[in-house]
Amino acid sequence: MNATVPHISILTLNVNGLNVPLRKYRAAKWIRTHQPTTCCLQETHVAPEDSHKVKKWKKEFHANGHQK
């Protein structure tokens, strides 16, 4: 009998800024390829009001510290 085991995958990336369209594209492509359960992006340098809802993402959270 071949049983499937449920799993959780957590992906964390230090993207070092997503203000450049090519970086956004590459990061999104990489995330889609790996299809994590949870994805944490560090150092996006994107304010919550500047972010856009990503298709198929159920929830989106932001934690902003002091700006440079």
Cα separation, 12 vs 9, whole angstroms: 10
Per-residue pLDDT reduced to its tens digit, 18-47: 888 888 888 888 888 988 888 888 888 876
- Phi, psi of 22, rounded to the nearest 5 degrees: -65, -40
CA distance 44 to 61: 13
Whose CA is closest to 50, among 20, 10, 19, 7?
A: 19
0.75 exceeded by the pTM? no
CB 38 within 8 A of CB 8: yes
